[in-house]
Amino acid sequence: MPAPESAIATDGLTRRFGDRVAVDRLTLSVTPGAIFGLLGPNGAGKSTTIKMLTTLLPPTSGSARVSGFDITTEPARVRRAIGYVPQLLSADGSLTGAENLMLSARLYDIPRAERKPRIAEALAFMGLTEFARLLVRTYSGGMVRRLELAQAMLHHPAVLFLDEPTIGLDPIARRSVWERLQQARRQFAMTILITTHDMEEAEVLCDTLAIMHAGVIAALGAPAELRSQIGPDATLDDVFAHFAGGAITEGGSFRDIGRTRNTATRFG
Amino acid sequence: MTSAGPATPPRALAESGKPLARLSGFARHAMAIASADLLKLKRDPTELFTRAVQPLLWLLVFGQVFSRTRAIPTGALSYLAFMAPGVLAQSVLFAAIFYGIAVIWERDLGIVHKLLVAPASRSSLVTGKAIAAGVRGLVQGVIVFIIALLLGVHVRLDPLSVLGVGVAVFMGSALFATFSLLVACVVKTRERFMGIGQLLTMPLFFASNAIYPITMMPNWLRAIAEVNPLTYLVDALRTLMVMGAVSVTGVPLDFAVMGAGIVGLIVAAAWLYPDLAR
């Protein structure tokens, strides 16, 4: 198979929930090896986009290819090529870190002989080796996030999807997550797509940003490009306010807010 | 591909479309799910003991009192011997029917999402859950079995009968747990699930042969009992567990009904399971 030109390519990708259009004819392309940030207020369609690209949610219309595979007709191949860390807490608190990783290793068909070394490698990479045998419910928020990244990267995916990867984390834990992601990209030539509404995260981590608003992309470009479009001294916050038409925290359903806070509490 | 770095995993095994490779992949994924689930049980087995309390009450209180009235025609069996397998089946049902709550919990976190983006098939995930529930039921069944033995029920202890009881308990647990998972996929929230769980257990229990024979029932109830899978579980358990018990429906039919029920429910649950992540 020829190498795909885009790690992710969507064409008119649309998802409706009843009358509401969550994602409206989204067409975008992500270069292999890039860290791509989807920015937007709650309810802009970021999570819906990720859910479609990770095959969790079928699109209403349009199409997308991830790592060269069609999300609708080849979902099994897409799943094999990607890793995903949902916004919610996806590590199992009643298992140890090592047991969580073993479950992933088995579900991703990592051969028996390779499982132990691969798990040890992932734990070391994420700085979790000494905590491997502790129950995850005793972990700090940052450790849980790093474990979830380890789980999502254990099979060395071509594309990694992260939904709000540092939400609810303290500044030190956030930085530590960013460093691992940058290192992972360099080491494994991975493409990473994140959603965020943290401007610092977008600035530090992402090569390209797409600002989503009401299901469509309102602006697209490198962080510096977007800033220069607004003015010489513009910050990303200004860019965001300009394109997403208001404050970052505006919008979002009661359920979204509840979930975000729950996630943050569980990390605490 | 972009991942053509130093470490592209070997994927040949699971991607080959050969039926045998697919079957072994299915089994490996199901066992991965089941063993993760059972690790949790091993770590915190208290629920097995708290769940033994209710069957104990049924046997010690209800069973003792009704033994005296002799109002229920149980043939050659004492009433206690008649109802002991029914109480065992009941304990299996009551534990398994709330299995879906754990799945809703996994949804409220993000564990379901994580499982659903893995390349494992949906049916293997659901089957793994069913196997775990089966083993949980089995451990619990041992406790009720011992209680019945201690109360002086003439329990058949030949290896084949004990094995048969074990298989029936395993299948019954897997069946009702998968049914519960299916309900969880439909209702999705804990509050609604608890309501429906409560609503289901008692009718399933009373519209069965667990504590009185089908022959005592009015026709309408009998018709319900005959399509209630619990009836077949109880019949298998009673025949295999109690000396002198005679099967009403036939043990082969009992196992066939449970087997077909499990397969049908797994297919349906695998179909609805992805809804949990939407």
| Interchain CB distance below 8 Å, B2 and A1 | no
Asked if residues A41 and A248 have their Cβ atoms less than 8 Å apart, the reply is: yes
Asked if residues A29 and A9 have their Cβ atoms less than 8 Å apart, the reply is: yes
SS3 A132: coil
User: Which amino acid, B37?
Assistant: D
Residue B17: band (very low, low, confident or very high) from pLDDT cuts 50, 70, 90: low
pLDDT of residue B52: 81
Sheet holding A69-70, edge to edge: A20-30, A8-17, A61-66, A69-70
Angle subtended at Cα A170 by Cα A164 and Cα A174, rounded to the nearest 5 degrees = 50
Q: Residue A142: which region, alpha, beta or left (left: phi > 0; alpha: psi -120 to 50)?
A: alpha
Q: Is the confidence at residue A59, as pLDDT, over 80?
A: yes
pLDDT of residue A4: 64
Question: Is the reported ipTM for this assembly greater than 0.90?
Answer: no
For residue A65, give the nearest of A104, A16, A40, A32 by alpha carbon: A32
Q: Rounded to whole angstroms, how far apart are CA atoms B101 and B178? A: 12
Each residue's pLDDT tens digit, A199-244: 889 999 999 999 999 899 999 999 999 888 888 888 888 888 888 8
CATH number of the domain residue A48 falls in: 3.40.50.300
- Within 10 angstroms of residue A114's Cβ, the number of other Cβ atoms is 14
DSSP B242: B
Residue A136 lies in a domain: no
For A6-50, give the secondary structure using H, E and C: CCEEEEEEEEEECCEEEEEEEEEEECCCCEEEEECCCCCCHHHHH
Q: Is the confidence at residue A253, as pLDDT, over 70?
A: no
In chain B, pLDDT over 70 holds for what percent of residues? 94
Nearest to A82 among B8, B13, B117 (CB): B117
- Within 10 angstroms of residue B20's Cβ, the number of other Cβ atoms is 8
Query: For A108-231, where are the alpha helices, taking DSSP H only?
Result: 112-125, 141-153, 171-188, 199-205, 223-230
Each residue's pLDDT tens digit, B54-88: 888 888 888 888 888 777 788 888 899 999 999 99
Residue A268: band (very low, low, confident or very high) from pLDDT cuts 50, 70, 90: very low
Q: What's the gap in Å between the CA of B275 and the closest CA on chain A? A: 8
Residue B172: band (very low, low, confident or very high) from pLDDT cuts 50, 70, 90: very high
- Domain span at residue A186 reads 8-89+158-263
Residue in B closest to A115 by C-alpha: B9
For residue B176, give the nearest of B103, B96, B85, B101 by alpha carbon: B96
Q: How many domains does chain A have?
A: 1
Q: What's the gap in Å between the CA of A185 and the closest CA on chain B? A: 10
Domain chopping of chain B, boundaries: 23-63+78-277
Longest dimension (CA), chain B: 77
Question: Does A79 reach chain B within 8 Å, measured CB to CB?
Answer: yes
Q: List the beta bridge partners of residue A21.
A: A16
Residue A77 lies in a domain: yes
SS3 B70: coil
The two structure tokens encoding residue A221: 């470009």
Sheet holding A82-85, edge to edge: A82-85, A159-163, A191-196, A35-39, A208-213, A216-221
Q: What's the gap in Å between the CA of B195 and the closest CA on chain A? A: 21
Residue A105 lies in a domain: no
Q: Which pairing describes strands A208-213 and A216-221: parallel, antiparallel, or unpaired?
A: antiparallel
SS3 B186: helix
Asked if residues B186 and B272 have their Cβ atoms less than 8 Å apart, the reply is: yes
Asked if residues A120 and A159 have their Cβ atoms less than 8 Å apart, the reply is: no
For residue B181, give the nearest of B260, B100, B87 by alpha carbon: B100
pLDDT of residue A103: 96
For residue B9, give the nearest of A1, A117, A155, A189 by alpha carbon: A155
Q: Rounded to whole angstroms, how far apart are CA atoms A162 and A150? A: 12
Contacts of B108 in chain A (CB under 8 A): 88, 262
Q: Rounded to whole angstroms, how far apart are CA atoms B181 and B37? A: 14
- A89-106: average pLDDT: 95
| Interchain CB distance below 8 Å, B4 and A111 | no
Whole-prediction pTM value? 0.88
The two structure tokens encoding residue B275: 């809804």
Nearest to B110 among A80, A81, A90 (CB): A90
Each residue's pLDDT tens digit, A150-195: 999 999 999 999 999 998 888 998 999 999 999 989 988 899 999 9
Residue A131 lies in a domain: no
Q: Is the confidence at residue A247, as pLDDT, over 70?
A: no
